[in-house]
Amino acid sequence: MSEQSIPAAARHAQPDEEPDPWTEPVPTGLRWTRRWRGVTGLTLLAIGFGLIIEQPGLLLASVFGVAFAAYGRLGAAPSPALEVERAIEVTDPDVGEQIPVTLTVHNDGDGRLRDLRIVDGVPSGLAVASGSPRIATSLPPGESAAVSYELEAARGGHTFDPVVAIVRDASGATERAVEIDAPGTIDCVPSLPAEPPPFPLRPQTTRYTGRTSAAEGGDGVEFHATREYRAGDPLGRIDWKRVARTGDLTTVEYRRERAASVLIVVDARRAAYAAPDPTAATSVDHCVEAARTIAGSLLDDGHSVGLTALSPRPPWLIPGRGVQHRLAIRTALGTHEAFERTPPDRSANVYAAGREIRNRIASDTQVVFVSPMLEEGASQAAHRLDAHGHLTTVVSPDVCVSDTVGQQAAGLARSLRLAGARQRGIPAIDWDPAEPFARALARSQRRWSA
């Protein structure tokens, strides 16, 4: 709906968007804190009343106010000369590992910094597990102050923001904020699982030998059909029981086992970002976790696996195999910006993204679409890919909760979308992230084979 179509009264009722504390620029430079404004106001009131009711006592009392206000007007916050050093004990942690961080601030200037506040630029994708990334201190020249805290590692490449230092003058009337660059990164790249559960692929295969049963007869282990004997058929494939029974020579055909080419498409659009709790793991985190298991499983089975995302900033790995390719998938799932905790600034065009995917992959490539299915665009993407001949399987982590009316409606809408996909013949794996993904896979396989 366009902004114009909303009546003015309703538009005004909506609260102004609050500034994003992670992207709001730091107001560097010297500024008044307005700390003494109240004293000046009280002083003027006292003087005003003193003059009108002719009370010399009030005028005398206001001398103190004037003195305080004058004190607040003296001097200005100094420009700090600070040197900052950050020690990160583990720079490539496992998910959930505690990372000790120590920030040391050294006063390189000549003057004492009487009121110094420091806040470390903790990356937006990491939470502080213990301690605090803040210092408030008075720092003489040549002295240092340090603060230690621990971060909890989460998937992704995390870059520290500049340290923010705020210095105030002795009266606290003025302050100066500065940003100090202190580069630091933490890369948390989870491995592909060592023994992933088998992933149920659809019967669309390439011409290369592999482990997926194709819909054509030939060599293999799973029975496919029998046909009339042709000269040259191996003796081992003649159905001798049938010969004994009827006298007809027939040859048994097995399903050919072929390798599949699979593109994993992770839904990382702005609309796909949600969480059951504002600070919990996001739907995209769960999608990435599922994609990691699927990629590991398919690569172990000898299939070609590629990776991309519905996102304004997608990664692109054309289906492939081998150690290097496995590493590339692992790294992309671990640190690519498309899978950051922060949703992209703009939305992605589902139709354009679908077209690009179809243009880039071979016609016999099937698609595993990993999406929370929170809105109609996700259903459209899955249906269109499937309709264009890339047999599609939907894997959907469920991040819906049901505490409020809106949440219940969102959960119901999502379940209808999954039902709609199944009705169109697209297998949909519904995964509650509270349980292991392997269990959801096993449940789906039981249902499909029943």
User: Cα(263)–Cα(316) distance, rounded to whole angstroms?
Assistant: 10
Binding mask 210-249 for other proteins (x = CB under 8 A): ----------------------------------------
**Range in contact with other proteins (rule: CB under 8 A) among 136-144, 166-174, 292-300, 315-323:** 166-174
Tell whether residue 47 is a contact of other proteins (CB under 8 A): yes
Q: Are 348 and 269 in contact (CB under 8 A)?
A: yes
* Binding of residue 32 to other proteins (CB under 8 A): yes
* Cβ distance to other proteins smaller for residue 59 or 238: 59
Is the Cβ of residue 119 or residue 338 nearer to other proteins in the bound state? Answer: 119
Selected from 80, 107, 135, 175, the binder of other proteins by CB under 8 A is 175
Nearer to other proteins, 51 or 146 (CB): 51
168 touching other proteins, by CB under 8 A: yes
Select 158 or 255, whichever has its Cβ closest to other proteins. 158
Alpha carbon separation from 22 to 18, 25, 124, 253, 440 (Å, rounded)? 12, 8, 7, 63, 36
Q: Is 14 in the site for other proteins (CB under 8 A)?
A: yes
Query: Position 73: which residue type?
Result: R
Complete DSSP assignment for 414-434:
HHHHHHHHHHTT--EEEE-TT
Which of 153, 167, 263, 273 binds other proteins (CB under 8 A)? It is 273
**Between residues 70 and 215, which has the closer beta carbon with respect to other proteins?**
70
The binder of other proteins chosen from 135, 274, 338, 385 (CB under 8 A): 274
Residues in 311-340 at the binding interface with other proteins, rule: CB under 8 A: none
- Asked whether 46 and 62 are in contact (CB, 8 A), the reply is yes
392-397 and 365-370 beta bridge pairing: parallel
Which is closer to other proteins, CB of 66 or CB of 328? 66
Cα–Cα separations (whole angstroms), residue 94 to 88, 127, 334, 342 = 14, 15, 11, 20
Can you tell me the distance from the alpha carbon of 104 to that of 139, in angstroms, rounded to the nearest whole number? 12
Minimum CB separation of residue 38 from other proteins in Å reads 4
Annotate 108-141 with three-state secondary structure. Answer: CCCCCEEEEEEEEECCCCCEEEEECCEEEEEECC
Per-residue contact flags (x/-) with other proteins for residues 343 to 372, judged by CB under 8 A: x----------------------------x
Binding mask of the shown chain, residues 49 to 88, with x at each position contacting other proteins by CB under 8 A? xxxx-x-x--xx-xx-xx--xx--x--x------------
> With binding defined as CB under 8 A, does residue 422 bind other proteins?
no
Task: State which of positions 399-418 bind other proteins (CB under 8 A).
Answer: 399-401, 404-416
Window of 195-203, 225-233, 275-283, 345-353 that interacts with other proteins by CB under 8 A: 275-283
Q: Select from 261, 250, 285, 297 the least CA-distant residue to 370.
A: 285
Find, among 189, 186, 183, the residue nearest to 98 by Cα.
186
- Least separation in angstroms between residue 330's CB and other proteins is 23
Stretch that binds other proteins, among 38-46, 224-232, 238-246, 429-437 (CB under 8 A): 38-46
Mapping DSSP to helix (H, G, I), strand (E, B) and coil, where does residue 248 land?
A: coil
Judge residue 441's burial from the number of C-beta atoms within 10 Å of its C-beta, 0-12 exposed, 13-18 middle, 19 or more buried. Answer: buried
- What secondary structure does DSSP assign to 162-231, as a single string? EEEEEEE-TTSSEEEEEEE----EEEE-PPPPSSPPPP---S---SSEEEEEEEEEEEEEEEEEEEE--T
Query: Please, what is the minimum distance in Å from the beta carbon of residue 266 to other proteins?
Result: 16
User: Taking the complex as a whole, how short is the minimal distance between the CB of residue 359 and other proteins, in angstroms?
Assistant: 32
Instruction: Kindly tell me which residue out of 120, 267, 289, 430 binds other proteins, with binding defined by CB under 8 A.
Output: 120
Q: Are 414 and 406 in contact (CB under 8 A)?
A: no
Query: Is there binding between residue 279 and other proteins (CB under 8 A)?
Result: yes
Q: Give the distance, in angstroms, between the CA of residue 11 and the centroid of all CA atoms in the same chain.
A: 31
| Closer CB to other proteins, 195 or 345, in the complex | 345
Window contacting other proteins (CB under 8 A); options: 14-22, 181-189, 221-229, 350-358: 14-22
Of 33 and 104, CB closest to other proteins: 33
Interface residue with other proteins, options 2, 3, 7, 231 (CB under 8 A): 7
Q: Out of 26, 84, 88, 438, name the contact with other proteins by CB under 8 A.
A: 26
Query: For strand 316-320 and strand 304-310, is the pairing parallel, antiparallel, or unpaired?
Result: antiparallel
Torsion angle of alpha carbons 139, 140, 143, 144, nearest 10°? 0
